[in-house]
Amino acid sequence: MPSEALLTGIAIERMIDIRRQLHRYPELSNEEYETTRRIRGWLEEARVRVKDYPLATGLIAEVGGIQEGPVIALRADIDALPIQEKSGLPFASLNPGKMHACGHDFHTAALIGVAFALKKQESRLKGTVRLIFQPAEEKAKGAKLVIDSGALEGVQAIFGMHNKPDLPVGTIGIKEGPLMAAADGFLVKVEGKGSHAAVPEAGNDPIVTAAHLVTALQSVVSRNVSSLSSAVISVTKLHSGESWNVIPDQALLEGTIRTFDDGVRLQVLKRFGQVVDGVAAAFGTTASIRWIEGPPPVNNDAALAKLGLAAAADTGYQAITPNPSPAGEDFAVYQREIPGLFLFIGTAGTQEWHHPAFDLDERALPVSISYFTRLAELALDYYSTGGGASL
Ligand SMILES: [Zn+2]
Ligand SMILES: [Zn+2]
């Protein structure tokens, strides 16, 4: 592995300290006030320009712009989860019931490190790097807030990453095309007719409909999605009834649908609706669906993926082709506006994302900083030559 300190000229101990401070004081989506204040403090200390976009939480900053040129953006998410930390770490959360269990503290510290590194060579940058510290990723709301604030205007391409516990430190997971899933949610309300449990023929039992729905909905994945594509439907909540001897008049189902392709997503949502209507009707009940529209799939631009590979080669890290993740990620919302590349940084964790004992190997922090510093330079070079043909 190359010497990151030499590559970026910044003190890694300081970056680890920043990550641990963030980890100690996690804040939930849209409540990241202290986190934003801390980020601002660190950036201002390094004389990085903090911009004035209308965001309640989160923050936009810029480096470069001394040389005229394109604007590219780097994005980190800053929010935490409503989880009681059980990592046993000396710098574990001091905010009860809140935890950086998705590693967004790592993402934030890494982007601050990139800001410091780019600041040191600001006059050499062939354009501007806009740094987006995005709130509310876990609620899939923050990217839209950033876009609505105007912070994406003038930006030609955007780059972001997620830590990846199952990849070793020193590896970068880069893949063009789909990388993470569209994550839609559903609430199905089945309405029947209640009756005495001993006289079911006097009613229309919504529990029978709900039970059939749980299994029938799986046929959408097995019978309507090509074996070469993929989709997940999970019913995660099923509630009906209050008593052993009463057939209730209502049943509620909730869950999520994950897909990696717009066409498959539309097809699954359409068939889901048909199955719900048909099964409900078959048992003399009715059903309504309320959709919770999640982010679309993360879909990486092919030219930017090549840029990502070039940055890995330049910094001496191992680029690998990762398996797509069925988790959702609202970075995808930016990619609907401008070309983007989202990638994985190997962090050799012992637990998956959102686990109460989630942790990561901090040696991945300098990897991420040196990698993204180089990637930003390459992206500015690329766009300052008009999307150059050198790739
Ligand atoms: Zn998460
Ligand atoms: Zn995350």
Confidence of residue 155 (pLDDT cuts 50, 70, 90): very high
User: What distance in Å separates the CA atoms of residue 154 and residue 68, rounded to the nearest whole number?
Assistant: 13
Residue 298 has pLDDT above 60, yes or no: yes
pLDDT in tens, 15-36: 999 999 999 999 999 999 999 9
| pLDDT at residue 10 in the model | 79
* Residues near ion ligand 2 (Cβ under 5 Å): 102
Domain with CATH 3.30.70.360 in the chain: 182-292
Share of the chain above pLDDT 70, in %: 97
CATH of domain 6-180+297-384: 3.40.630.10
Q: How confident is the model at residue 80 (pLDDT cuts 50, 70, 90)?
A: very high
Whole-number Å distance, alpha carbon 250 to ligand 1 midpoint, is 33
Q: What is the pLDDT of residue 390?
A: 54
Give residues with Cβ within 8 angstroms of 38, minimum separation 6. Answer: 21, 22, 25
Distance 2 CA to ligand 2 centre (A): 27
Query: Token pair of 304, please?
Result: 């930017």
| Distance from Cα 241 to the centre of ligand 2, integer Å | 36
User: Structure pTM?
Assistant: 0.91
Fold of the domain spanning 182-292: Alpha-Beta Plaits (3.30.70)
Asked if the model's pLDDT at residue 137 lies above 80, the reply is yes
pLDDT at 389 over 60: no
Ligand 1 geometric centre to CA of 354 (Å):
6
CB within 8 Å of 377: residues ≥ 6 apart: 125
pLDDT digits (tens, 9 = 90+) for 317-336: 999 999 999 999 999 999 99
Tell me, in angstroms, the distance from the centre of ligand 2 to residue 324's CA: 14
Looking at the chain, the domain(s) classified CATH 3.40.630.10 span 6-180+297-384
Q: 180 alpha carbon to ligand 1 midpoint, in Å?
A: 12
> 13 CA distance to ligand 1 centroid (A)?
26
Report residue 4's pLDDT band, with 50, 70 and 90 as the boundaries. Answer: low
